[in-house]
Structure 1
Amino acid sequence: MKEKTIEVLKSSGEKARFSIEKLRTSLRHSGADEKLAQQIVDTVRDELYQGISTKEIYNRAFALLKNKKSVLASRYKLKKAIYELGPTGFPFEKFVAAILEYSGYKTEVGKIMPGICVFHEIDVFAEKNGNISIIECKFHGEEGRNCNVKVPLYINSRYEDVRKKWEERNNGPKTMNPGVVVTNTRFTQDAIAYGKCVALDLLSWDYPKQNGLKDRIDRLRLYPITVSHLLTNREKQFLLSRDIVLCRQISEDRFFLDHLGISETRKEKILKEIGMLCEQ
């Protein structure tokens, strides 16, 4: 018998056809095996109704996954966890810098650089093997908002101003790479087309395909501390205020947890969860 088509309400306000395969893929991507993923898919499918929000579907799948294996639930909530780096974009900039540092870059957040016309504050300045990268971060605290073409247009003009001054000053063997724009949401097709046209590198939640922000975080196991459901919101904000943005930072130095005044028993649970998240 043909399955009934269910329309869901996306965070952007648009309606779309519910995709069982998309839900199954996201569950498998979190580390759930085929059996567990199918169990959750079957449960969620039985609870669907016309006009259900994608947020409600996510919350139900997350709760089911958390009940079975909490570490998988933490991985599953990655996208939401990055939104929780807000409300300002600064923790997101620190997060991007931290990812680069674990890839061998030296980074500086908020560096002031001269352009031909004016000075510019660079979100993330990164250097590796004599190659310089200027990275601008566009953080959205609300789901459903995409980066349109105005974002790369504006950032490319700033990059070009800085690049021309850099070349004018003759910085020896150091080379400036193409500019980079990183966002926690998605780019519109016009934004992607413009980026390709002017050789501006774009990095979003799912772009480039199979090498987007999500893919890189999963591959390197560089999860933000906001994925943890054992840490309270107050504790997460405390850590973020002290530039602790990665679970791996806590895993490598439990000293950061000592400041939170939590019990040894709970501390061990948190470290166990984080250890499982970060293991390769």
Structure 2
Amino acid sequence: MSKKHINITKYSGERELFSKDHLKASLRRSGADETTIENVATLVASELYEGITTKEIYNRAFALLKKKKSHFASKYKLKKAIFELGPTGFPFEQYVSEILKHSGYTCEVSKFIDGKCVTHEIDVVAKKNNKTTLIECKFKSEQGGSCDVKIPLYIQSRYQDVNFKWNTDEGDLQPALIVTNARFTKDAEAYAKCEGLNLMSWDFPAGQALKDLIDQMDLYPITVSTLLTQREKQFLLSRNMVLCKQLLGDKFYLDHLGVSEVRKTKILNEIKALCHVK
């Protein structure tokens, strides 16, 4: 079969024709130059076989980028790195909070707020310019998942319960926001639009999606590093360190982990290149 007509298997199990242009578009997220992108895409395309999974294609492209420069590979694995914030959703809540803080908000994580009928635990409460936003974080630990219409239906009912008793001394209550590292179904998007709910997913809304904000502010999760081990990443997450940038200010954690000076320099240089810090 011609390499131009190879079917690949997506995470959902669906099949579609392989597109070298789509692969190159995804590789551009790594920040690599066009020559590197073309070389990697050409090599990956030459190794394809009928039914190859998108995961296998990703792993091969990742390995080739890592050989070139580790921070290219780090940026390329961004989506996977967010899944690695699990298995619980708490690090993702902290991560969303940090993104908002860098956008000028003050944030509280896991705050209890009384509603008309019951007390609600809100994932993130964000305040800015005397306006308060209640944020629900929906973390998915595996690719291919989505948030259906039941999620915004549930969040809207909680918001209405809180809004009934809201004290304006806490700031004007804004429409609720739901943030997920996955995607929303079309019904979920339609319901949210109808009710005035705000949604943010990996690629929605255009230009202000999760992936856009991360790239715009260089707010990469610590799990994106290709040089830290899984044990080291979990240690840092347990110390509420969710951003690569935080490690630049708290390098002593690497000493706690027993990281050698040579390896520490490599790790910090990878993060500096990723976050554009000199």
| Aligned positions of 1:58-73 closer than 5 A | 58-73=58-73
Residues 4 and 18 in structure 2, CA contact (< 8 A), matched pair in contact too: no
Q: In angstroms, what is the RMSD of aligned CA positions?
A: 1.4
The answer for the alignment partner of 1:14 in structure 2 is 14
How far 1:4 sits from its partner (Å)? 3.0
Alignment partner, residue 251 of structure 2 = 254
Partner of 2:188: 191
- Cα distance in 2 for partners of 1:116, 1:77 equals 43
Shift of 1:252: 2.2
Amino acid of the structure 1 residue aligned with 2:200? L
Decide whether the 8 Å contact of 2:221 with 2:244 is kept in 1. Answer: yes
Q: Distance in 1 between matches of 2:150 and 2:197?
A: 13
1:1-280 aligned within 5 A: 4-166=4-166, 169=167, 171-172=168-169, 174-279=171-276
Secondary structure class of the residue paired with 1:11: coil
Most deviating of 87-96 and 8-17: 8-17
SS of alignment partner, residue 183 of structure 2 = coil
Corresponding residue SS for 1:223: coil
Distance in structure 1 (CA, Å) of the matches to 2:113 and 2:169:
17
Q: What amino acid maps onto 2:181 in structure 1?
A: N
Distance (Å, rounded) in 2 between the aligned partners of 1:270 and 1:86: 22
| CA shift for structure 1 position 6 | 2.0
Note the C-alpha offset of 1:173: 7.6
Are the structure 2 counterparts of residues 173 and 260 from structure 1 closer, same or farther at C-alpha, using a change threshold of 3 Å? closer
Distance in 1, Cα, partners of 2:3 & 2:230:
41
| TM-score for the superposition, normalised by structure 2 | 0.96
Structure 1 CA distance for aligned equivalents of residues 177 and 5 of structure 2 = 40
2:140 is aligned with what amino acid? H
Segments of 5+ residues of structure 1 without an aligned counterpart are: none
The Cα shift of 1:70 comes to 1.0
* Residue segments in structure 2 that go unaligned for 5+ positions in a row: none
Superposed displacement of residue 19, structure 1: 2.2
Corresponding pairs, count: 276
Matched letter for residue 14 of structure 1: E
Verify the 8 A CA contact 2:3 2:46 in the aligned structure 1: no
Counting aligned pairs with the same residue, the percent is 59
Please give the TM-score of this superposition, normalised by the length of structure 1.
Answer: 0.95
